[in-house]
Structure 1
Amino acid sequence: MNKELIINAGPTGVEVALLEDKKLVELHNEKADANFAVGDLYLGKVKKLIPGLNAAFVDVGFEKDAFLHYTDLSPYARSILKFTHAAINVNTKEGFDFSKFQIEPEIVKTGKINEVLNGKPNILVQILKEPIAAKGPRLSCEISLPGRFVVVTPFNDIVAVSKKIHSSDERKRLQKIVEAIKPKNYGVIVRTAAEGKNTAELHEDLLALIRSWETIQQNLKGAVPPTKVMSEQDKTTSILRDLLNEDFNKVVINDKNIYNDTRNYIQKIAAHKSDIVVYHSNGTPIFDQYGITKQVKSSFGKTVNLPSGAYLIIEHTEALHVIDVNSGYKSVSNNQEENALETNLEAAEEIARQLRLRDIGGIIVVDFIDMKLPDNKKKLQDAMEGFMRSDRAKHAVLPISRFGLMQITRQRMRPEVNINTTETCPTCNGTGKVAPALLLEDEIEKRLHYLVTHQHKNLTLLVHPIVHSHLTKGFLMSSTRWKWRRKYKTPIKIKPASDYYLTEYHFFDANEEEIKL
C-alpha cells in the first residue's frame, strides 16, 4: 500500500492529510488557538458532586464545567489528590522526589464519588474527550504520558506490553528491559512500535516522558485552578508519533520548521528512509498539488457518490449517525441478490473510509440494500470488519439485523470533522434572489445605450455562452447583435466567457479594458 502524509501549515493552523493509494482517508486540522485537546493536563477545581450519576463537575476553564465520572477516577485517585496538594504547596525550589512519594491505597471499583472527592478539592485531571456540541470536556484521572515506544502512567509500578506484539519471547524481552530501567512509582505500557527496539531506544523514550512529568510538578507549584498544567504535543507531532513508520512512502510539508522536525524524527526511527520527507515550495497550494482539495469537496456533504453509480446518504442526529446505501443505476447482473451484495461491498469500503475521514464516533446505523441469503450477510459483515481493521479508533461491528441494519460503534474523542462544501452563489451572493433571466437582454441594452450616449465606441460584450448564443442567433442581419449595431450605429462584438455565471456580463472598450460604471 502506498502511504503518503501531506502537511499544510498556514497562519490559522496545520492541516494533516493521510493518503492511502492516493485516496484521502484521514484529515486532521489543528488550529493555532486550539484549547482542551485530548491529552491536555489541567489543574481543576471540583465544583459539584452528583451522587445520582456518581460523577462530579470540574471547573477547568471551559464555559461549561467538565464531566468526571467515578469510573474515570483511576484506582490511584487518592494518590493523585495527595500529589496535587503536595505539588501546589511544595516549599523547595526543586519540588520533591517523586520516586519517594508514598502511594495511597487504591479506591474500590464500586465506590461513591462523594467518598473520594468530598470537600470539593483541587485535582490534576487529563482531557479524555474534547468538548462536543453542547457538552463540556470529559475528564480522566488516569494520567498517561504517551511516547513513541512507551506510555508512562504515574502512581503505579505495573509494566504491561501491547497485545498486538504476538511473539511471547519478544513480549518477555520487552517486559524485562522496562522493569530494569523504570524508576519507582512509574507504570509503563510498552507500545506496539517498541517491537524489536533495544534498551537504549526504550530508555531514551522513557527518560523524555519522566522529564515531562517533572515539568508538570514544577508547573503545579503555586498554581491556582483552573489552569493548564501541560499541553499534549501539537497534533502534527502526535500524528507523526502515532502514524509515522517505515510503511510511509512520502511525507510532503510546506513549512520549513515542521519539515526539519519531521526529517529528524524519521532519521531516528528509520534512518535509511529520511529521503521520503520532501519540502514543498513551488508556489502551488500543497493540497491542490496532491488532489486533496478536490477529494475534500467530493467526500464531505450529505451525499457521497461511488464510482459505480451507487451513493450514500449520511445524516447526523443528536443520538447517532445514519447512513443509507442506494444502488443508483448500478447493475452487475440480472440477479437482484448479486447486485445487492456487490453494491453493499462497495459501499462498505467507502463507509469505513468516511468514518475515518470525518472522524465519526458514537453509534452508526447503516441501512444496506436488503439481502436474503445469510451467507451474503456474513460476507458483508466480514468485509466491513476487514475494511475497518486499519482504523486506529476502537470500534465494534455487529451482525446485520432482521431489518437489514448494521450497527457500528466507534470511539468518539474529538468533534466530528464537518467541512461545508457549498459555495456562495455568484449570481445572488447568498440572498436566494436573482434577477429574472428574461429581463437580462433589456438590462444589457439599457447599459449599452448609456455607454453609447457617453461617447463609448467599438464595444466588446462578454457574456455567458448561453446568452451569447441567444444574442447572436438567427440570420446575420436579424440577430439581436445586428439590431443593436444598426440602432446605435457602432460596432459591437459579443464574445462567450465560459467562466461567467448565467446573468453576468461586462463591457470592454477598444483597448480591451473593462468599462466600470
Structure 2
Amino acid sequence: MSNELVISSTQKGDRIALLQNKRLLEYHEEELDSSFTVGDLYLGTVKKLSSGLNAAFVDVGHEKDGFLHYQDLGPNINSLNKLVKDVIAKRVTTGRLNQNQLEPVIDKIGKIDKVLTKNAPILVQIVKEPISTKGPRLSCDISIAGRYLVLVPFSDGVNLSKKITDRAERSRLMRLMSSLKPKNFGVIVRTVAQDKDVEELDRDLQHSLAKWDQAIKSLSEAKPRDRILGEMNRASSILRDMLNESFESITVDTRESFDEIRDYIHTIAPDKEKIVKLHTGKTKVFEALGLEKQLKSLFGRSVSLPGGGYLIIEHTEALHVIDVNSGNKSNSEEDQEATAISVNREAAKEIARQLRLRDMGGIIVIDFIDMKKAENKKLLQDIMRDEMKPERSKFTILPLTKFGLMQITRQRVRPEMNIVTREVCPTCGGTGTIQASVLVTDVIENNLDYILTKQNERGISISMNPFLYAYYTKGIYSKQMQWYMKYKTWVKIVKDTSLGIVNFKFFNKSGEEIEVSNNT
C-alpha cells in the first residue's frame, strides 16, 4: 500500500488530493485565509444563554453565532475563564499553569447559566465548521494536537490511544509521559507514538506547549472575535496525522508550497524530506497525474463498480442515501445469492472510499442488494467495518435490517465536499439553443490581439479544452506558430479538461487570470 499527496495551488487556495495506490482517497479544497477551521481558537463573547437547550450562543465573528453546549464546556471551564480574565487584565503573561490558577471542576449535569454570564469573554475552540445555515460548534475543552501527542491544558492525566494494545508499550508510554509533561497539563498519546523514543515525544510536547504559550500571548492583545490560534493548513494536518513509511511522494506545483512542506517534513520526520517533489511540467499537476478525470468520475450521482454494478448516491439535508445496483453483473454468477454477495462486497469497499472522499457525515443509509443467508449479512457488515478501519472520523455501523438496509453514522466536522460533474452547456446555458458556437476561435483571437497589441502583454498563456488545444497546436505550421510569426512572441497553450469545449482562460506571465470577453 503506497500513499501520495498532491497539492495544487491556485489563486483561490489549495487543492489537496490523497492517493492510495494511485487511486483518489481524499480530496480537499482549502481557501486562502479560511476561517473557522476545526481546531482554531477564538476569543468569543457570550451573546445568549438558553436554559431549554442548556447551551450558549457565542459570537466568534461568523454571521451565525457559534453553539456551545454545557457538555462541551469541559470540567475545567472555571479555570479557563479565570485565566482568560487574568490574561486580558495583564495579570498573567505566561501559559504555564500553577496551582493557584485552578478552580473547582463543574458538575457534570449542571446548568449553563450557573457557569457563564451574558456578554462575558470566553476562549472557545472550533470542533465543527459552519455547515449550511448553522454556525460553528464550539468547545471550551481546549486541546492542541501534535504529531504524537494531544496537549490538554488544565487536566493532569495521561491517556493512551486504544489502538496501542501492547501492554509493555502502554506501560512505557505512560511512564514516559507522566515524567515529561508539566504539572496541570494532560496528555493524550496518539497511536503513531508507539515505539517512538523519548527525544521525539519530548520535542513534540515542547512544540505543543510553545503553541499554547503563543495563544496566551495573542490573547493578551486580542479583541472579541479575534482568532487566537489557527490550526495548521489542511495539507500539513494530513501529514501530521498520516505520514508514515507508506508515503512515497508529496508533489506540489509552487516553490512556496515546496519550501513550506519540506520545512514541515524536516521538523516532524527528517528521514522523509526527500519524498517532497516540485512539479515543473507544462501541464497542471492534477492534469498530468490524471486526477481531473478521477474527480469527474467519482463525484457524480452514479458511481461505477469494477465488476459491472453501480451506486446511486443522493444527498438530503437530513441524511445521505446510497442505492446498490447489480447492473450487468446479474448474469455473471450462478445464482441470485452469489450475485448479491459479489456486488455487495464490491459496493462496501467503494462506499467506504466514497464516505471519506466526499467527507460525508451524519446519517448514511445504504440499500444493499437483498441477501437471504444470515452469514452473508454478517460477512457484509464485517467487510464494511474492515474497510472503514483507516477512518480518522468517528463512525458507527449497525447490522443490516430485515429490509436489507445498513445504517452508518459518521462524524461531521466540516461541510461535505461536492464537485459539480454535470455541466451546463457553456454555449447555450442549458436552454438547448445554440448560437454562434463556431465563432469561439474568433473570440479567442480577438482577445489575443487586444491583449498583445493594446495592452502590450508578453509571456501570456491560454488554458483550453483538449479539443481546442488540438486545433491550435496540430501541424508544423499550426495556429500557435502563426501567432508567433504575427506577434513575434510565443503564446503558451495549456490543455485543461476541467474547461468546457468552448471555454478558455487567459493568464499573464505571473499566472494571474486576465479578464476577457467570452461573447461572440
**1:153 and 2:178 correspond:** no
Q: 2-side partners of 1:270 and 1:214: how far apart?
A: 24
Which SS does the other structure have where 2:328 is aligned?
coil
Counting aligned pairs with the same residue, the percent is 51
Tell me the equivalent position of 1:190: 189
* 1:175-186 map, 5 Å: 175-186=174-185
Q: 1-side partners of 2:238 and 2:248: how far apart?
A: 16
Residue-by-residue CA offset, 1:470-511 (whole Å, 9 max, x unaligned): xxxxxxxxxxxxxxxxxxxxxxxxxxxxx9x999xxxxxxxx
Which SS does the other structure have where 1:363 is aligned?
strand
**1:83 and 2:83 correspond:** yes
Tell me the equivalent position of 1:27: 27
Amino acid corresponding to residue 50 of structure 2 in structure 1: I
Which SS does the other structure have where 2:356 is aligned?
helix
Check 1:236–1:250 CA distance in 2 against 1; reply closer, same or farther (3 A cut): same
8 Å Cα contact 2:82-2:101 kept in structure 1: no
Tell me the equivalent position of 1:444: none
Q: 1-side partners of 2:214 and 2:15: how far apart?
A: 29
Q: 2-side partners of 1:246 and 1:266: how far apart?
A: 13
Q: 1-side partners of 2:225 and 2:273: how far apart?
A: 42
Tell me the equivalent position of 1:138: 137
Q: 1-side partners of 2:27 and 2:313: how far apart?
A: 18
Which SS does the other structure have where 2:327 is aligned?
coil
Tell me the equivalent position of 2:508: none
Q: 1-side partners of 2:436 and 2:187: how far apart?
A: 71
Q: 1-side partners of 2:269 and 2:95: how far apart?
A: 38
Residue-by-residue CA offset, 1:48-86 (whole Å, 9 max, x unaligned): 111111111111110011100111110111111111111
Check 1:270–1:297 CA distance in 2 against 1; reply closer, same or farther (3 A cut): same
Which SS does the other structure have where 2:9 is aligned?
strand
Which SS does the other structure have where 2:38 is aligned?
coil
RMSD: 2.4
Amino acid corresponding to residue 352 of structure 1 in structure 2: A
Tell me the equivalent position of 2:255: 256
Which SS does the other structure have where 1:202 is aligned?
helix
Tell me the equivalent position of 1:306: 305
Residue-by-residue CA offset, 1:361-413 (whole Å, 9 max, x unaligned): 00000001111111111111111111111111111111100111000010100
Tell me the equivalent position of 2:60: 60
Farther-moved stretch of structure 1 (9-18 vs 140-149): 9-18
8 Å Cα contact 2:154-2:185 kept in structure 1: yes
Structure 1 residue 433 displacement after superposition: 2.8
Tell me the equivalent position of 1:349: 349
Residue-by-residue CA offset, 1:241-264 (whole Å, 9 max, x unaligned): 112112112221112233233334
Tell me the equivalent position of 1:338: 338
Check 1:91–1:310 CA distance in 2 against 1; reply closer, same or farther (3 A cut): same
Check 1:184–1:270 CA distance in 2 against 1; reply closer, same or farther (3 A cut): closer
Which SS does the other structure have where 1:98 is aligned?
coil
Q: 2-side partners of 1:305 and 1:134: how far apart?
A: 33
**1:391 and 2:391 correspond:** yes
Residue-by-residue CA offset, 1:214-258 (whole Å, 9 max, x unaligned): 111111114331221111111121111112112112221112233
Q: 1-side partners of 2:53 and 2:99: how far apart?
A: 36
Tell me the equivalent position of 1:379: 379
Structure 1 residue 31 displacement after superposition: 0.7
Q: 2-side partners of 1:163 and 1:306: how far apart?
A: 34
Tell me the equivalent position of 1:207: 206
Which SS does the other structure have where 1:81 is aligned?
helix
Amino acid corresponding to residue 75 of structure 1 in structure 2: P
* 1:468-487 map, 5 Å: none
Structure 1 residue 360 displacement after superposition: 0.1
Check 1:95–1:210 CA distance in 2 against 1; reply closer, same or farther (3 A cut): closer
Amino acid corresponding to residue 239 of structure 1 in structure 2: I
- 5+ long unaligned stretches in structure 2: 439-466, 468-496, 503-518
Tell me the equivalent position of 1:220: 219
Amino acid corresponding to residue 418 of structure 1 in structure 2: N
Structure 1 residue 269 displacement after superposition: 5.0
Which SS does the other structure have where 2:329 is aligned?
coil
Which SS does the other structure have where 2:195 is aligned?
coil
Structure 1 residue 146 displacement after superposition: 0.5
Amino acid corresponding to residue 303 of structure 2 in structure 1: V
* 1:274-285 map, 5 Å: 274-285=273-284
Q: 1-side partners of 2:422 and 2:16: how far apart?
A: 22
Tell me the equivalent position of 2:171: 172
Which SS does the other structure have where 1:324 is aligned?
strand
8 Å Cα contact 2:381-2:399 kept in structure 1: yes
Structure 1 residue 89 displacement after superposition: 0.8
Structure 1 residue 276 displacement after superposition: 2.2
Amino acid corresponding to residue 413 of structure 2 in structure 1: M
Q: 2-side partners of 1:382 and 1:366: how far apart?
A: 15
Tell me the equivalent position of 1:15: 15
Residue-by-residue CA offset, 1:181-225 (whole Å, 9 max, x unaligned): 211121111111111222221111111111111111111114331
Which SS does the other structure have where 1:366 is aligned?
strand
- 5+ long unaligned stretches in structure 1: 441-463, 465-498, 504-515
Amino acid corresponding to residue 51 of structure 1 in structure 2: S
Q: 2-side partners of 1:350 and 1:222: how far apart?
A: 49
Structure 1 residue 428 displacement after superposition: 1.4
8 Å Cα contact 2:47-2:118 kept in structure 1: no
Q: Which has the larger radius of gyration?
A: 1
Amino acid corresponding to residue 116 of structure 1 in structure 2: V
Q: 2-side partners of 1:73 and 1:392: how far apart?
A: 24
Which SS does the other structure have where 1:304 is aligned?
strand
Which SS does the other structure have where 2:282 is aligned?
coil
Q: 1-side partners of 2:2 and 2:338: how far apart?
A: 31
8 Å Cα contact 1:89-1:222 kept in structure 2: no
User: What is the TM-score with the length of structure 2 in the denominator?
Assistant: 0.81
Structure 1 residue 334 displacement after superposition: 3.5
Check 1:35–1:253 CA distance in 2 against 1; reply closer, same or farther (3 A cut): same
Amino acid corresponding to residue 183 of structure 2 in structure 1: K
Structure 1 residue 431 displacement after superposition: 3.3
8 Å Cα contact 2:127-2:137 kept in structure 1: yes
User: What is the TM-score with the length of structure 1 in the denominator?
Assistant: 0.81
Farther-moved stretch of structure 1 (360-369 vs 247-256): 247-256
Tell me the equivalent position of 1:368: 368
